[in-house]
Amino acid sequence: MNADTIGGHVRFKVLEGDGRAATTADLEVAERIRELGFWNKPFHPCTESLSFSFGGIITTLSPAPPSPETVSTPPLTDFATLPLAVGRMPKVKTNRVKYPEGWELIEPTLRELQGKMREAENDPHDGKRKCETLWPIFKIAHQKSRYIFDLYHRRREISKELYEFCLDQGYADRNIIAKWKKPGYERLCCLRCIQPRDHNFQTTCVCRVPKHLREEKVIECVHCGCKGCASGD
């Protein structure tokens, strides 16, 4: 069906099944066809095709694209005034980290420990037991956490904001610091040493035994290489 607009009135050309032009119909004809029962739902001539049988001839009403004269161009958006229309500029998320005051004082030490950590991770493992390859990494991680812990809880040289920032960013282990603040765990080397499920007979690591109670004078924790972290030593 070809469509054109004349004075706001849309006209359609009805095509028979063989493609020949049969007659000219407007919206009233399409509505009449629906009323006669040939089409049982509302018909939108501009967007739908209508097929029906009349006298054994299958007739189809098909929409045609509008003429260029009837197509209106949408107004262009003035992006320069768009923020004024919505009231304020949208927030832009960035990956840039905002460092608290005092970060520049502890950054060199933390960067140095980070460099040692990378060296320990890339260190060759020739001639070492599997557990021994992780000992240097545990040791440096312990040093980083102890450094932040001492700065805030003992020496009072950094603010709480900077302290929480270091914990959130992974520069120190929040869990082991929580243990250091409890009596009896002030020198704890790592959390695995106090987990009974990780040791025989559901006890703690041998490094937690005070020196005067040890049967062996020289010991090494299998988890982190600790030689003794009892509070009384």
Q: What is the rounded average pLDDT of the residues 148-158?
A: 95
- With 0-12 CB in 10 A as exposed, 13-18 as middle and 19+ as buried, what is 208? buried
Q: Which residue has the higher pLDDT, 153 or 87?
A: 153
The angle formed by the CA atoms of residues 209, 210 and 211, to the nearest 5 degrees, is 115
pLDDT (mean) for 165-190: 94
Q: Which residues contact 90 (CB under 8 A, 6 or more apart)?
A: 83
Q: Of 221, 231, 209, 229, which Cα lies nearest the Cα of 135?
A: 221
Q: In angstroms, what CA-CA distances link 126 with 59, 133, 205? A: 86, 9, 26
Q: 3-class DSSP state for residue 25?
A: strand
Domain boundaries, given as residue ranges, for the chain: 3-66, 103-213
Q: What is the reported pLDDT for 124? A: 86
Give yes or no for residue 193 having a pLDDT over 90. Answer: no
Q: What is the pLDDT of residues 44-101, one digit of tens each?
A: 544 555 555 545 555 555 554 555 555 555 555 444 454 444 445 555 556 788 899 9
Rounded CA-CA distance 82/209 in Å is: 70
80-to-66, 74, 76, 232 alpha-carbon distances in Å: 33, 18, 12, 70
**Which tens digit of pLDDT belongs to each residue from 95-126?**
788 899 999 999 999 999 999 999 998 988 88
> Residue 72 corresponds to which tokens in the numbers above?
């209106």
Q: What is the largest CA-CA distance in the chain?
A: 112
